[in-house]
Amino acid sequence: MNRWEEKLREALRRKAAPEGFSERVLARIRELPVQEERPWGRIRSFIARPAFRWATAMLCLVIAGSLVYRARQEHQRREGEIARMQVKQALRIASLKLNVARRKVQEINREIPQSRL
Amino acid sequence: MATATLDRCGEVLARLARGDVSAFEEIVQAHQSMVFSIAYHFLHDRSLAEEAAQDVFLRLYRNLASIKSPKHLVFWLRQVACRRALDQLRRLPKAPPVSLENVAEPAEDPPDSDPLLSRGLRRMVASLPENARAVIILRYQEELELAEIAQILDIPINTVKSRLERSLEVLREKFHRWAGGVAR
């Protein structure tokens, strides 16, 4: 500590509290209403416990994790549903096309033997 | 000596835990100077400082159950005194003036080697921004290490370091200007 800091330390030296300070504090304490322990006070002190806070944080994490998991599952299910619909649609279109082709072939088959004969 | 004081304080805390409320007076007497001085150096006003210091002890009375040890008690008092003084400082323009009858008589303090210089320095400290003032008061009044100041103010140690350096620079500049004015 240099001289400058020594001066600062001297200037900021602790001051004596005013005369009768402790008596005035005690008088104010005596004026305080006697507080009965209320139920919410117990709840508050319970909530303030670090163990409770950790447990709440863990619970929040578990809930958030399960929500994310469920959302992902739902997303996958919906995508599967869409894919199933698309396959169904593709099969329907393919069957229509096949029917058209079959009909055409049948018509051609019907016409060719007659002309040859 | 500090250990003896802590032991004594430990005994008082134990008495309080057993329901001996009169022991609280001993705690007030043992720490009133520290709490009052923190508030006074923040607020630069004896009546406001007394009000803030009284509030700190009332808060302590209500939170006695949370005090774990004499060391924790001192840490708690310093932290709450700083916070209470900062609150008071922020409310200052709105606070009603205190009548002279309510202002306590100043107690006898040991004389400064240079009262004019000390008063000037205290005024300069009081003109610093509140966060810088907190660091300076805890460093030079309470003679705390930077890590302890960081813990009390709940800020990183590097912030304490930079605030301290900047504040000392500002104080030095102010001091040179002031000393020049006084010499003229």
CATH number at residue B10: 1.10.1740.10
- Is the CB of B51 inside 8 Å of chain A's CB atoms? no
Nearest CA in chain A to B107: A18
pLDDT at position B65 is 81
Q: Do B41 and B121 reside in the same domain of the chain? A: no
Domain boundary among B109, B135, B164: B109
CATH number at residue B160: 1.10.10.10
Separation between Cα atoms, residue A4 and residue B125, nearest integer Å: 14
Tokens of B168: 């000392």
Give all strands (DSSP E) within B13-88, no chain letters: none
Q: Do B120 and B63 reside in the same domain of the chain? A: no
Contact A29 B61 (CB under 8 A): yes
Mean pLDDT of A63-84: 96
Q: How many domains does chain B have?
A: 2
- Is the CB of B43 inside 8 Å of chain A's CB atoms? no
Residue A2 or residue B183, greater confidence:
A2
List chain A domain ranges. 3-82
Residue A33 or residue B43, greater confidence:
B43
Contacts of A20 in chain B (CB under 8 A): 104
Query: B141 CA to chain A: closest CA distance, Å?
Result: 5
pLDDT at position B22 is 77
- A98 burial class (0-12, 13-18, 19+ CB within 10 angstroms)? exposed
Residue A32 or residue B121, greater confidence:
B121
Cα atoms in the 13 Å half-sphere on the side-chain side of A15: 27
Residue B117 or residue A39, greater confidence:
B117
Separation between Cα atoms, residue B27 and residue A95, nearest integer Å: 94
Q: Do B93 and B3 reside in the same domain of the chain? A: yes
Q: Do B88 and B15 reside in the same domain of the chain? A: yes
Q: pLDDT confidence of A116, banded at 50, 70, 90?
A: low
Q: Do B68 and B123 reside in the same domain of the chain? A: no
Residue A22 or residue B16, greater confidence:
A22
Separation between Cα atoms, residue B34 and residue B77, nearest integer Å: 9
Task: State the residue for tokens 């030095």.
Answer: B172
Phi and psi angles of residue B180, each rounded to the nearest 5 degrees, phi first? -60, -45
Contact B110 A13 (CB under 8 A): yes
CB B143 within 8 A of CB A12: no
Task: State the residue for tokens 């609280």.
Answer: B24
CB B135 within 8 A of CB B149: yes
Q: Do B98 and B160 reside in the same domain of the chain? A: no
Mean pLDDT, consecutive 10-residue stretches, chain B (184 aa), reads 60 73 86 94 90 94 86 94 90 52 49 76 88 93 93 94 93 83 56
CB environment B11-48: b (16+ within 10 A), e (fewer): ebbebbeeeeeebbebbbebbbbbbbbbbbbbbbbbbb
Q: Do B88 and B160 reside in the same domain of the chain? A: no
| Nearest-by-Cβ selection for B53 from A5, A17, A26 | A17
pTM (2 decimals)? Answer: 0.64
Within 10 A of B98 (CB to CB), how many other CB atoms are there? 14
Amino acid identity at A15: K
Domain boundary among B74, B109, B144: B109
Residues of A with CB under 8 A from a CB of B: 4-5, 7-22, 24-26, 28-29, 32
pLDDT at position B99 is 43
Using only the alpha carbons of chain A, give its radius of gyration. 44
Task: State the residue for tokens 């700190």.
Answer: B56
Which structural domain range is residue B25 located in? 1-109
